Amino acid sequence: MASIYLDHNGTCPPRPQAVAAMVEVLSQPGNPSSVHAQGREARRRVEVARRQLAALLSLPPATLVFTGGGTEANALALASAGDRPLITSAIEHASVLEAAPAALRCPVTADGVVDLAALEAALAGAGRPAFLSLMAVNNETGVIQPVAEVAALARRFGALFHCDASQAVGRLAWDWGAIAPDYLTVSAHKIGGPQGVGALAARDGAPLAPLLRGGGQERRRRAGTENVAGIVGFGAAAAACDVEAFSHLAALRDGLEACLRAAAPGLVVAGAGAARVANTSCLVTPGWRGETQVMALDLAGFAVSSGSACSSGKVAASHVLAAMGLGPDLAGAAIRVSLGWSTTAAEVERFATTWISLHARRAPAPVAQQDLSPQDRQSVISQTARQQ
C-alpha cells in the first residue's frame, strides 16, 4: 500500500514549483556576494525570492532576513529583546519556550486561545515595556490566535511584539503589514518549500541583534553565505501558495471529524470550539495512547503525528493540551492529522476507514457506537464537504 501523508503541519511535501526552481539553481555556480556575472545572477535570484515572499506577507522586501529555518528566526527575534521582560503563552512552540525559559507564560482558554485579559494584565504588570512572543496558529491544534488584538495591546503598552506565523502563512489571508507585528517568523517547509530555510521580518526601526556575525550578508543582520537554492525554493513556494484553495480543506477536515465521531463517540477534537486553520484536526481518544496510534497508522501506511514534529521522538503528553486543561491521560492520547496542498478526498476517506478499523480492534465497541460501513463513511465525509 502506498503511504498517505497527513502530517503537513510537521512539514509539507515540496511543491513541484519549488523543486524545479531549486534544481535549476543547483546546476549553477555563484556566490551572491561576488561581483562577477555568476555572483550577480545568484544575487538576483535571492532578491526575486525575497520579493515573492514579501508579496505573500504584504510586507516590504527589505524587512525580510533569510535564516536557516523557523527556529533560528524565532531565536533571532528573542535575542533582540534586550533587557525587556519576556512574555509568551503556554502553548508556544519549543523553539520559543526553550529559548525564553524565564518568560512569563500567559494561560489559554479550554479551546486553546490565549487569555487576552491575562495577557493585558501581564503587559500592565511588567513595570516597563515588555517583549511579547505569541504564535499566530498553534501547530498541534490549528487554533487561530487573536493576533490583531494582541498587536494592538502590545502597541498600547509599548511592548515589542514577535509573532511566529509558521503555521499561518499561506493558510490565512492576513495582511501582515496591517497587523504590524514588530517581528514575524516564517518557515519555508511549512508552505511546500525546502527544509532548513526560514525568514524573520523585522519592522523598520525594531532592534535586531544578529546571532551570526562575520559577514555583510542580509544587510549585516545574518552573516554567512546565503542558501541560494533553498531561498529560491522558498520564494517559488510562496508564489505558489493559494489561500483560497487551502480554505477548501476545511470541508474534508470537518467531514473526517464527523465520521470519526460517529464511529467513536468518546473522541474529542481539541480546539473544535475555536476558529482553526482549515487543515488541522487534533484527535483525542481516551484510553488510546497517541504514540500507539501513530505506530499503528504508520504500519497501515499513514503518516500522522502525536504532537509537534520537533518532539515526536519523546514519549510525553502534549504541553499544549495540558495548557488547555486536559489531564495527563487525555493529553497523551492525541494524534494530529494535518492536510495540505497535495491531500485528496480519497486519502481522507481511506484514513477514516483505517482509523475506525484500528479503533474497533483495540477494545469492544461501546453500545452507543455506530457501525458505519465504508459507503456510510464516504457519505458522511462527502455530505459534510458539500455543506461547507
What residues act catalytically? 310
What is the torsional sign of CA 263, 260, 327, 272?
negative
CA distance 189 to 41: 24
Assign 5 to helix, strand or coil.
strand
Q: What torsion, rounded to 10 degrees, do the Cα atoms 88, 92, 94, 96 define?
A: -40
> What type of residue sits at position 296?
A
Report the first-to-last Cα separation within the chain, whole angstroms: 31
Q: Which of 341, 385, 173, 139 is nearest to 245 (CA)?
A: 341
Instruction: List Cβ<8 Å contacts ≥24 apart for 376-379.
Output: 377/259, 377/263, 377/349, 377/352, 377/353, 378/349
DSSP string, 198-264: EEEEE-TT-----SS-SS-HHHHTS-S---HHHHHHHHHHHHH--HHHHHTHHHHHHHHHHHHHHH-
**What region does 192 belong to: left with phi over 0, alpha with psi -120 to 50, or beta?**
left
Q: How would you list the strands of the sheet with 160-164, edge to edge?
A: 64-67, 198-202, 183-187, 160-164, 131-135, 86-89, 104-106
